[in-house]
Chain A
Amino acid sequence: MDEILAAAGFKRNPFKFRESSGDPHLVDYIVNSETFALAWADEPALILAAAGAGKTAMRIFTARTCWTSLGRKHPFPLPYYLPQHFDGATFFSREAHLQAIVRAGAASLLLGLAYRPEYLLNAAPEIRLQTARLLANHLPSPLRRYLEILQEEQNVQALPPLLDRAYVLPEPPSRAVLLEMCTVLGEALAQLPSYPGSPGQAFTDLTTLLLDGYQFRSILLLLDGVDGFADLGQDAALTCQALAPVVECIPAWTKEKVYFKGFLPLEMSAAFQAAFKDIWELSNIRLIHWEPDELAGMLRRRVAKATGGNFGSLDAISSPALRDVETQLVKECPALPRHVIIFAERVLLAAYQRCEGHFIQISPEDIETARKGFPPHS
């Protein structure tokens, strides 16, 4: 279908990525500046939304913005996406959480340094050593292997798919600077003795390195993926129990400039408020909600970006019987971006199949076909 879309004026499929973490163009059409302000600020926050409403998109946008904002003193983003670190709901202990957070922090640091090597290259030797130690002890694969990958591929984009595919930043470094970073880090690694440490000590080492060593303004601990575990299912109380070791640290962490940002399922809000009353009152809270015209606007933005501005609505590739296609598509779905995006792609695919792969012109029949195969789920 990509060839047909190209013939229709698209540079890419505007609805290909229904999962934010895989979408390199996310920043082109993210909205909701008020929610972002909350996610970015140096204070704890809870951002609540239904599944598919854009929690992860906001989390990713926040993390990317940390590295793309102007000025040197910006927060260090530490995405803590639970399904990346746990296969089942086995994170009921403080130790388990801290170990995973340190692993997430190590991954985030390596990715950050790969995209912005100047941080390491301008760091003092002791900071480089501490960095190498942290990375050597807490990455999923040996640090030397990741350095080898960067040196062989000579492209920073080789790293995110292995560590955090959402960690894709603009303006990657030149090959020479990237290789220099690898050399420097490899030299520091060669000087290290083994040092596993305790999870608590490792967490302290991580925060000290980031705040004191690299002089980041703060650390944003971006918790996400709570609803990714079948074991927890619909049990909000059990989920709160699983998160308790982390939530209980929020006041102490706040004093240390580690700001908790919880991107949580909306269904958890009552249970969370009941279980963590103090934290609830301490935090800034926002609910992500979409109006139909906002969803239609999101679709149009995707179309506009995917066509490079050639046109900004699916009306351009629809039959005369259809007008304001995006508004019509939004009416067919629950008011959630993921559902709307999937439905829009289904309509494109139906049109592609109906036209037997020769061209795409969306007709009312295609919306009907997509509707039949798209039962509403909660």
Chain B
Amino acid sequence: MTPTWIEMNFPIYWINSNMSETTQEPLGRQVFDRLRSEYETGWLSNVYVKPSSYAAMSGMRSIVVFGAEGSGKTALALTLVQEALQQDAAAPLVIDWQPAFPDLSQPQDALVHAFFNQAMAASALALCRHIGQAPDRLKAAPRWVQTTAAWFVHRYLVDLDYTLSRLEEEVTPEGMTLLEQIAGQAPANVLSDQATIAQLLAELVRCLQRLGRGGVWVMIAGLDAWVQANESATVRVFKALLSTLALFEEPGFSIKLFAPAQIKAPLLASSGVMRRRLDDFVLDWSSVQLNEMVYRRLGAALLGAGQHVSLQDLCLSPETVQWVEKYGGNSPRGWLELSGKVLDEFLSCGGQQPLTEEQCTALLQRNPPRLRLDLTGDLVFLGYSPVTNIQPAAYRLLKYLYTHPSRRCTRQELYYRGYRGLDHEPRHSTDAGYEVPAAWGGTLETTLSRLRQAIEPDPDEPVYLVTERGKGFLHLENSW
């Protein structure tokens, strides 16, 4: 079975041994390698910069955090969990819930129930893990807590033997013995099959609190792939979830949802958000915060945790710093990706002296920011920075080239198919839509010129809209 998000990112040995450790050795290039928090758990806490509303996101409040791809949603989720688990007392039981799409033909309340049952199954698994790791807690608890825990496990875990086999390496031998006892005994009745969400959550939270946990955090992240696969279905199920107020009224139960920015508008219309049963945040960053991220990572890479190194320390050219600021947009991943290139160049040149102006210029020339189009929103990005001064006609040309990446386009093709949107290229005066080249040549050249002005760092030396000399073919380079 595929490891869950928490299992991947918080294997128990890491939680127990590494949480409070900071290394003083330089971490090297790895700090800029993958730029995905899932692979940075060993040192993320050393370099993490908290968003402005971080304090409001932690604690037992339910929240939904919206952010673009690369804005740091996963890093935020990991940091919240890490700090919560470091609490001496009353740390929450963190549930990694990886939702599976329920049958969307169901009515809304059935949809919510299907989702809720998934979450409870994940909670039951986490409860088993907690019991297995701290069996003395359950043994010392009042009998009603023991029966509640056993009932909950039986109710929501279908194949207990398989579940226990999954947990074998994570729990103590004594804990496994206790879990096997629970599995082997029919549980006493706690709640009927008709129990409501509110009643079930109340029992779960009280039970956990008597077992030494402050409550429950249900972490839901990794939804970018969901949205890409089926945005409307994702919106429907999560809007239903966020409109089920019973999920947000139990003080010891908290849902922390990290969602892509493009589904923000419909989810904000859910009644749970509108009635402020849960708080909503948008993950955006100031240039001060983004600079701080770069300082910390460069410092960790070159000197060790807790150290700061600025881009200005690595290169003499202020244009390089401006290049990072401009094309990094307001995306942490953007800033770090481009800063990583500066670090690479610095290290490849010996890592002892700042890069000279010539070295910086060469670096920028070799690394034009990637051109990217968001075809859904008709947006253009250079690196992570939106390009806003593209006229509609110029955008049509760019879009055609972008959606035909392997083609070397003639001007004729570009005009008829790109600019005019025809599905064919008229060749003769008798063909539908034909125009004499003299009539459109100037228009096309003017539009191409405006497009180059908008996206090229040097329109006279284009790096994106490239013309094959002597042949007149146009194609797009440095795009993704």
Q: Is B246 engaged at the interface, CB distance under 8 Å to the other chain?
A: yes
On chain A, the number of residues with a Cβ less than 8 Å from chain B's Cβ atoms is 50
Shortest distance between the CB of B94 and any CB in chain A (Å): 20
Q: Is B199 an interface residue (CB 8 A)?
A: yes
Is A228 an interface residue, CB under 8 A from the partner? yes
Determine the chain A residues whose CB is within 8 A of the CB of B113 once the complex forms: 87
Q: Which residues of B contact A145 (CB under 8 A)?
A: 144, 147, 188-190
Task: List A contacts of B274 (CB < 8 A).
Answer: 51, 377-378
From B107, B243, B275, B281, residue with most partner A Cβ within 10 Å: B275
Q: Chain A interface: which of B53-61, B399-407, B440-448?
A: B53-61
CB-CB under 8 A from A18, the residues of chain B are 276
A140 touches B199 (CB 8 A): yes
* B205 lies within 8 A of A85 (CB): no
B113, B144, B240, B244: residue with the most chain A Cβ atoms closer than 10 Å: B144
Check A161 against B206 for contact (C-beta < 8 Å): yes
Task: Establish whether residues B245 and A83, one from each chain, have CB atoms under 8 Å apart when the complex forms.
Answer: yes
Q: Indicate if the CB atoms of A19 and B109 lie closer than 8 Å.
A: no
A27 contacts the other chain (CB 8 A): no
Say whether A1 contacts B55, CB under 8 Å.
yes
Residues of chain A from 1 to 40 with CB closer than 8 A to chain B in the complex: 1, 17-19, 21-22
Per-position binary interface string of chain A over residues 92-126, scored 1 when its CB falls under 8 Å from any chain B CB and 0 otherwise: 00000000000000000000000000000000000
**What is the CA–CA distance of A274 and B203 in the complex, to the nearest angstrom?**
41
Which of A196-204, A295-303, A320-328, A338-346 binds B? A338-346
A230 touches B203 (CB 8 A): no
Contacts of B251 in A (CB 8 A): 17, 19, 22, 165
Judged by a CB distance under 8 angstroms, whether B125 is at the interface is no
* B residues in contact with A84, CB < 8 Å: 196, 198-199, 246
Q: Which B residues, 239 to 262, have Cβ-Cβ distances below 8 Å to chain A? A: 239-240, 243-246, 249, 251
Chain B residues whose CB sits within 8 angstroms of the CB of A233 once the complex forms: 243, 271
8 Å CB contacts to B: which residues of A123-179? 140-142, 145, 148-149, 152-153, 158, 161-162, 165
Residue in chain B with minimal CB distance to A152: B142
> What are 30 pairs between A and B in contact, CB < 8 Å?
A19-B277, A22-B251, A51-B275, A83-B196, A83-B198, A83-B249, A84-B198, A84-B246, A86-B196, A87-B196, A87-B197, A87-B244, A88-B109, A88-B112, A89-B109, A140-B191, A158-B206, A161-B206, A227-B271, A229-B245, A230-B108, A230-B112, A230-B243, A230-B270, A342-B276, A349-B53, A350-B52, A352-B55, A353-B53, A373-B53
10 A-B pairs with least C-beta separation: A88-B109, A230-B243, A152-B142, A349-B55, A228-B245, A353-B55, A22-B251, A373-B53, A349-B56, A149-B144
